[in-house]
Chain A
Amino acid sequence: MTDSDSLLHLRKVTVQFGGLKAVSDFNFRIYPRELVGLIGPNGAGKTTIFNLITGVYRPTSGSILFEGKSVAGKKPYLITKRGIARTFQNIRLFDSMSVFDNVRSAFNMHLRHGISYALWRGKGFDAEEARIEHEARELLDIFHLGKVCDLSCASLPYGDQRRLEIVRALATRPKLILLDEPAAGMNPTEKTELMELIRFVQEKFEIAVLLVEHDMRVVMGICQRIAVLDYGIKIAEGPAADIKSNPAVIRAYLGVDDGEPNSVT
């Protein structure tokens, strides 16, 4: 695949906070409809990469191209409009709003009419609101959250909240979705369900997925390609099998050992 095919292209991205280089010279590509993983020890810079891609941080140097156009340092809401959505490490739902309203918030950016319609409430307004309601409920139903539609999202169990966050991100109709440690705090059964959910999302919605995760079973299980970060530098990249036995990766996670075969599982 050539460069022109890539959906997201990070080239020599470096970000520096004061004296600390959180990410150095990071090169990375994601192609449409790929499922890619980003792993590394704690503090390696994975969430920083997310924040760079979504515009929360601006790179000190390097370029970030999405569908060929630069998104480096753009405002987050503009980047979402271009087609990149994300979830957060610590779930960030809109606590005061219902499940339905959380998903509905994602339709704001696709609204065809502005404030005057909300005030005047002509026929166009009603039609659009009905369409939004229909689509939102449909989306929630697909993910088995339809029944709790009108409940406060804070009352949902943890696993459902994570799922809701993913649904909400999907409602923005992205081409690429970034999932930040979606399996955190889940038990093995929930994690297996999550893996199926992510595969389902990738196939049904035909979008690319970039996954940051600590659980190796999850990452190795679903990712087609994995990049490994350590201290802000990419130390390895390739399919799961290669990563598992890559000595640099093993060193990063487990430290230098005295000769016994090791693998990262």
Chain B
Amino acid sequence: MACWPSRSTINDQPSTHLIEFLQQLINGLSLGAIYALIALGYTMVYGVLRFINFAHGDVFMVGAFAGLYVAPAVLKLSNGGPSWPGAFLVLVIAMVVCAILGIVIEKLAYRPLRNRPRLTVLITAIGVSLFLENFGQYAFGVDPQSFPDLIGDHAITIPAWCGPLTDLTIMVSQVLVFAVTLFLLISLRFIVTKTKLGMAMRALSVNPVATSLMGINNDVVISFTFGLGSALAGAAGILISIQQPSIDPLMGLQPGIKAFVAAVLGGIGNIPGAALGGILIGVIETLVVGYSDRLHIPSGYRDAVAFFLLILILLFKPTGLLGRVEREKV
């Protein structure tokens, strides 16, 4: 989180504490938006296939690297300087690349196992994940690389009439993340509720057999689901690269697991839940890190917090905040 705005100068006035809190909140929402985008992929795939796509976090990573390789060409079009159209082009290209990757993985590695026990597919997903990570290290090199500045990131100037709020640091990239995520969420809602494919997705998640009997080609719907979820992960990959320009082949690990926890928190299989969960996890993580001195949590334990949360959720409320209980028929 190197280039994120840290807390403002402390001078112990109540408004300063509030400003500090708001700052952390803004940072947290920005991070949470990215987790939400990734979490949606996990939850949609679980909804239609009842399986955890272990490799999803690595698709996010591929999105970032796709952006890395396309960015120079795009920047050339705008004569080397940052440009908004260029950034959006990179975003779209990354989303398309990831969508294709997701669909290909599903077709090659998961579809043949459609009728096998769920554990078989989980193991395969682990294999795909490890392959993507390690082949990524081979192809892209192990060391972190720098993502080019596509939009000329800077802090936006807050008008003076906002008073103490002028102490907040809000980056253009953060605004971009909010805007893009919001747009994608709305689009997703539209797709899921108003289009035929979206309705087919929902039908599949409730009863696959009946859905195919209604004349729907389940394979197409599943491919579409994977493509959609992967595209969102790709978008997340670009958005985070704009905010934190250091990318490496293992960058999908931590966000992947956190987004998964977010999906479970929201109720796995529940789309609004995944978005909600993502935001919550992002905010909680930022607050914990931001206040870690006062909470006396040694920084080394940060990575375990997500796992700890996950275990708590699964043990006490496995259906998450918005999920449904599914009973096994005896």
Contact = CB atoms under 8 A, between A and B. Distances in A.
A88 B328 CA distance: 14
A47 B330 CA distance: 8
Interface in B304-329: 327
Contacts of A17: 327
Nearest to B324: A18
A88 B327 CA distance: 17
Q: Which interface class (under 10, 10 to 19, 20 to 34, 35 or more) fits A?
A: under 10
Contacts of B330: 47, 51, 56, 88
Interface string B32-61: 000000000000000000000000000000
Nearest to A48: B330
A56 B329 CA distance: 10
Contacts of B327: 17
A56 B328 CA distance: 10
A154 to B, nearest CB: 15
Interface string A57-89: 000000000000000000000000000000010
A84 to B, nearest CB: 15
A129 B327 CA distance: 38
Contacts of A47: 330
Contacts of A51: 330
Interface in A9-62: 17, 47, 51, 56
A140 to B, nearest CB: 26
A166 to B, nearest CB: 18
Nearest to A86: B330
B140 to A, nearest CB: 44
Interface string A84-127: 00001000000000000000000000000000000000000000
B89 to A, nearest CB: 49
A88 B330 CA distance: 8
B288 to A, nearest CB: 36
Interface in B105-119: none
A51 B330 CA distance: 8
A120 B327 CA distance: 41
Interface in B230-274: none
A136 to B, nearest CB: 26
A56 B327 CA distance: 11
Interface string B284-303: 00000000000000000000
A93 to B, nearest CB: 15
A51 B329 CA distance: 10
A57 to B, nearest CB: 8
A216 to B, nearest CB: 25
Nearest to A89: B330
A43 to B, nearest CB: 12
A134 B327 CA distance: 39
A47 B327 CA distance: 14
B324 to A, nearest CB: 10
A76 B327 CA distance: 16
B327 to A, nearest CB: 8
A169 to B, nearest CB: 15
B54 to A, nearest CB: 26
B219 to A, nearest CB: 27
Nearest to B325: A18
A184 B320 CA distance: 39
Nearest to B328: A56
Contacts of A88: 330
Interface in B98-145: none
B267 to A, nearest CB: 16
Interface in A194-246: none
A6 B76 CA distance: 89
A248 B330 CA distance: 29
A14 B330 CA distance: 18
Contacts of A56: 330
B122 to A, nearest CB: 20
A17 B330 CA distance: 15
Interface of B: 327, 330
5 contacts: A17-B327, A47-B330, A51-B330, A56-B330, A88-B330
The 3 nearest A-B residue pairs measured at CB: A56-B330, A51-B330, A47-B330
